[in-house]
Chain A
């Protein structure tokens, strides 16, 4: 069974903290993605990576960075967490090509207080 695993289901962090969200996939996929999900806004792409050490900005990269040192792992970093980053964060992976589905993790609900 294919799997995308996010390290935490729930996180509570303080304003100004540096936050790491980890994601691991076991499908040997080249592409990995980080989305945030907010009510009424659907899923918005933060960053994606199509290869190790490669990264591309999505639609809302401000306040975030990413790291992909290994093919199976894609980390999302909040350099200095703010309350407007309270959200559900979803990691996904996919094979190369434009006609391929993305597989999602279960999500991390982050609350910044």
Chain B
């Protein structure tokens, strides 16, 4: 069964606002997490990753937060743009080089 899941299947955001996408995971032994972005008609693309020995990691306009106590992962997108409209997946490493994915959150940016 799924060990990774997203709290909300859809998120509508006003252009320029910040977005927060949440993800819960159930495998406390997972030590590596990734956020992927999938635009329509394309395969998932890597956004940012984080290892379990970190609580926070920042990229360009994106920040990933990891709370191991409650097994929660979030992706924050600053100043959301139309090009950020996509499906976002969190994934966790569950051993043997395999990644387990959540169901995804569809982000729609309103102009």
A residues bordering B, Cβ < 8 Å?
4, 31, 33, 35, 40-45, 48, 50, 56, 58, 90, 92, 94, 96-107
Kindly list chain A residues whose C-beta atoms are within 8 Å of the C-beta of B2: 42
On B, residues with C-beta under 8 Å from A are: 2, 4, 9, 31-32, 34, 36, 41-46, 49, 51, 89, 91, 93, 95-104
Judge whether B9 and A56 touch: CB under 8 Å: no
Most chain B CB atoms below 10 A, which of A43, A44, A92, A107 = A43
A85 to chain B, nearest CB (A): 19
A105 touches B98 (CB 8 A): no
**Which of A42, A99, A107 is most buried by chain B, counting CB atoms within 10 A of its CB?**
A42
B32, B51, B97, B98 interface centre (most CB from chain A within 10 Å): B97
Q: Nearest Cβ distance between residue B52 and chain A, in whole angstroms?
A: 9
Inter-subunit contact B97/A42 (CB<8 Å): no
| Nearest 5 CB-CB pairings of A with B | A104-B43, A43-B101, A42-B103, A99-B32, A42-B101
Looking at the assembled complex, report how far the CB atom of A17 sits from the nearest CB atom of chain B, in whole angstroms. 25
Known A-B contacts A40-B103, A41-B103; the reply to A48 vs B97 at CB < 8 A is: yes
Chain B residues in 8 Å Cβ range of A4: 43
Task: Using A56-B96, A97-B97, A101-B34 as known contacts, say yes or no to A42 and B43 having CB atoms under 8 A apart.
Answer: no
Task: Point out the residues of chain A lying under 8 angstroms from B99, CB to CB.
Answer: 33, 45, 102
Query: Nearest chain A CB to B40's CB is how many angstroms away?
Result: 11
Nearest CB in chain B to that of A99: its residue? B32
